[in-house]
Structure 1
Amino acid sequence: MDTIASFFSFITTPVSWIIVQFHSLYGAVFGESSGWAWGLSIVSLVILIRICLIPLFVKQIKATRAMQTLQPEMKKIQERYKNDKQRQSEEMMKLYKESGTNPLSSCLPILAQSPFFFALYHVLNTIAQGKTIGAMNSDLVASAQKAHIFGAPLASKFTDSASVIEQLDASVMDVRVVTVIMIVLMSLSQFFTQRQLMTKNVDTTVKTPFMQQQKMLMYVFPIIFAVFGINFPVGVLVYWLTTNVWTMGQQMYVIHNNPTPGSKAQAAYLERLSKKVERKGSVSGRGRRAIVKAIVAKGRDRNPAERKFINGLNKMGLAAQPDGTVVKSEKLAADQSQDGDTTHTGAAKRQQPKRQTKAQRQAAVKAEAEAAAENGEPQAGKPAADKSQGGATRAGGPGNGARSRAQSGRKGPQQRSKSSSKK
């Protein structure tokens, strides 16, 4: 550890200086030797570091999602060149280059925090020994040694002997109870962070070894923190617990507002977005428009949740545009009404009695044809003329009726010949 501490010694001065500046601020409120003043100084250091690391966190998210997308292709390369490791690594590097993905990008936040972590560990370990370091003079070192959090000195560890802890004006029981509680909270926060990533924000449509590795890390990381945590000073446990809580909250925010495509979180997000669009009639916010834009650009490659979202917009008479906005689509609304949609336009069209009028007309023609057949008329297709001729038969007697039918019989072929000649 001394070798690692000396390697990161270049950053111990900036870290100690930041702690001193925050301590001067909180010391004016809680007292210079208060554990809260020094504890909040460490918490503020974590928040400042994590704010600076937000761009790296964004890169980590993009890299992780890109790696999930590439997993099927990577698996094909591994199977194709399983007997040629050199060719396999060459194809992997080619795939990373073509997709613009860097496997190390997912580790950037942890790697960037490492120097600060070891620098803080070295600072607190030096304070426990009563030595000055960086911006910490002898007065500040003495003040930090007296600082207790729930009865445990910031520089004490679970493995410290009773004599060392007594020199820091504390009891072994207090130190070990506080350190155990903080180690448990640190491990649980790490487990919950990894669990919500695996259960909510992983593309469930892709089954790859990457997912199995993430599941394994979900159980391995908490154990690692529990084992190494007993060798960390209380101040370092405060630092690591704070950064775990920050990571958990940051990840919850990302899962809620920018979930991984194909995940359960995306299905829940698109359902919420669909309700907002239905209520407002538009997509508000640059982040939401970016998500809708990405869904539109996918075309036929959309996953089930994305297709459900697009179909939901169509049922509302809206159409998603390539720029992420939505517009009203009268054509889509008309199509949905013809398919049985219960929109206002569809209801208006169903109220038109066109079919009923046609049925009545067919029934009337059929009735007239039956009436003509009862009267013995051969021209069932011309009921009006047949009725008039039938009336003449009844008025003029049987002879007149026969002559009328003969005439109508002669006229029928003439009319058919005329129509054929016209054609």
Structure 2
Amino acid sequence: MNNFLDTILTPFTYAVSWVLWAFHELFTRIGMDEGSGVTWTLSIIFLVLLIRTLLIPVFVKQIKSQRAMQALQPDLRKLQAKYKGKTDQMSRQAMVQEQQALFKKHKTNPLSSCLPLLIQMPFFFALFRVLNNASHASENHQAVGALSVENIRSFDSAQILGAPLSETFLGTINSGNTNWAVVIVAVIMILAMIASQFFTQRQLMTKNMSKEALEGPFMQQQKMMLYILPLVFGIGGINFPIGVLIYWTATNLWTLCQQFWVIRNNPTPGSQAERELNARRAEKGLPPVGVKKEDAAAAAEEAAQQAAKGQREQPKRNNRRKKK
């Protein structure tokens, strides 16, 4: 099993380690200290920026798929109502087939929202291998991927706020000689990683989901991701090297900011974010999203003409019959 994983991850390991080496060389040549933790930290952050920039087309596809998932929520609810109470095997199979037909029609699937995360995982595991093996490789005078023995030694000795970048929270606790700088930096980074993951998902749920999506089964999936993903990374974070925690926190912050920009400027139709965008556009004298300026002007002119005519004339009341 390990040999199989090694075979799969080897190309990613060389790619990640080469990019890390290239950025480290760049910062060293512009005058930064070769063995400084700041130099290596910046190399890791710029590795994140490069990967996430390359993933922008995937992010755009993810946004389109999420909107398609929200658009088909009414059809999914009708489908669930159709098969409600039917527990036999044939009914379940029929429901699954109809769901798959809906997903195919709208060109989406429930896993589309996880696509950027899934694509990132091989790079994440490759970086984890590089940084996690740094201490062992340094002791045994071994290279790791595209990083030479000298690079590995430089990284293994690099520190940020007194915490070695190759050290882990669990490792220093179990060592019998706890480095409290590692504990403090790791806890701060883990909390930042969890918080950024949580607020990214919460921002999506509260701002960029239509009414149909908020009331449908898609919302349950989003709620699970809201709590499960931060919990998974929080628990796993105690065994991540400080360098990996920096990588994952940086990528979470990128996601949070990228999503904020998209939600603010190109929100899902029918969402709270769209209503807020239309309110901002109205303040500037612009028409709502999706309405052409000419159409908005014609509608405004028609409304003005109706207002000028005044209220509709009230029907005249019949004269009361004169009392005899």
| TM-score, normalization by structure 1 | 0.66
Contact conserved, 1:5 with 1:119, CA < 8 A, in 2?
no
Contact 2:73 2:216 in 1 (8 A): yes
Say which SS state the counterpart of residue 155 (structure 1) adopts.
coil
In structure 2, which of residues 74, 79, 95 is the aligned counterpart of residue 77 of structure 1? Answer: 79
Q: Which residue of 1 aligns with 2:309?
A: 338
| Alpha-carbon RMSD | 2.4
The match for 1:117 is 124
- For residues 182 and 336 of structure 1, what CA distance do their matches in structure 2 show? 60
| Cα distance change, pair 98–205 in 1 and its aligned pair in 2 (3 A) | closer
CA distance in 2, matches of 1:97, 1:254: 25
Give, in angstroms, the shift of residue 329 of structure 1: 6.0
User: Partner letter of residue 248 of structure 1?
Assistant: L
Matches within 5 A, 1:6-405: 6-28=7-29, 29-81=31-83, 82-83=86-87, 84-129=91-136, 130=138, 131-161=142-172, 172-206=179-213, 207-276=215-284, 278=285, 291-293=289-291, 319-320=295-296, 330-339=301-310
Letter in 1 for 2:72: L
C-alpha distance 327-34 of structure 1, shift in aligned 2 (>3 A):
farther
Query: In structure 1, how many angstroms separate the alpha carbons of the residues matched to 2:131 and 2:190?
Result: 17
Deviation at 1:197, TM superposition (A): 1.3
Q: Deviations over 1:42-97 (max 9, x none)?
A: 00000100011111111111111111121221232233234312111111121122
Report SS of the residue matched to 1:262. coil
Q: Which runs of 5+ in 2 are unaligned?
A: 312-324
What amino acid is the match of 1:121? F
| Count of equivalent residues | 299
Equivalent position SS for 1:8: helix
* Alpha-carbon distance in 2 for matches of 1:215, 1:116: 27
Equivalent position SS for 2:167: coil
- Displacement after TM superposition at 1:10 (Å): 1.8
Q: Which moved more, 1:250-259 or 1:122-131?
A: 122-131
Larger RCO (alpha carbons 8 Å, 6+ apart): 2
The one-letter code sitting in structure 2 at the alignment partner of 1:141 is: I
**1:222-264 deviation digits (Å, cap 9, x = unpaired):** 2111111001111110000000000110111111101112221
Offset, 1:220: 2.0
Matched position secondary structure for 2:295: strand
Query: Against the structure 1 CA distance between its residues 163 and 199, is the aligned structure 2 distance closer, same or farther, given a 3 Å change threshold?
Result: closer
Question: Are 2:73 and 2:212, in contact at CA under 8 Å, matched by a contact in 1?
Answer: no
**Runs ≥4 residues deviating over 6 A:** 162-166
- Does structure 2 retain, via aligned residues, the 8 Å contact 1:156–1:165? no
Segment of structure 1 superposing worse, 194-203 or 76-85:
76-85
Q: CA 1:200/1:11 → structure 2, altered by over 3 Å: closer, same or farther?
A: same
Q: Please give the alpha-carbon distance, in whole angstroms, between the structure 2 residues aligned to 1:142 and 1:33.
A: 9
Structure 1 portions without partners, runs of 5+? 297-312, 321-325, 341-423
- Using the alignment, how far apart are the partners of 1:124 and 1:6 within structure 2? 18
